[in-house]
Amino acid sequence: MYYHSIMKCHISATIDRDLLVRARKHAQQNRRALSNLIEFALEQTLRENASPGTDIVTSRSKFRGRFDRGECYGDR
């Protein structure tokens, strides 16, 4: 299996307010960070819609208290 960089990347997204309220409530009830819930939902969606023979592999990373935007965004 191939694992991506250990560093997680920061994103910005706009979603429906009601969906955000429901997602926050679900994450809180399951003692998960909202970002973990969003990542899980995205992975599941991508797996369900992946072409045959395509694997989605997540990293074994842990957030270390800082983001390195340069690693995520390059020279943009």
Per-residue pLDDT, 25 = 95
Which spans in the chain are helix H?
17-29, 34-48, 69-73
pLDDT for the residue numbered 34? 93
pLDDT in tens, 15-63: 999 999 999 999 999 999 999 999 999 888 888 887 766 655 555 555 5
Domain positions in the chain are: 12-50
- Which residues touch 17 (CB under 8 Å, ≥6 apart)? none
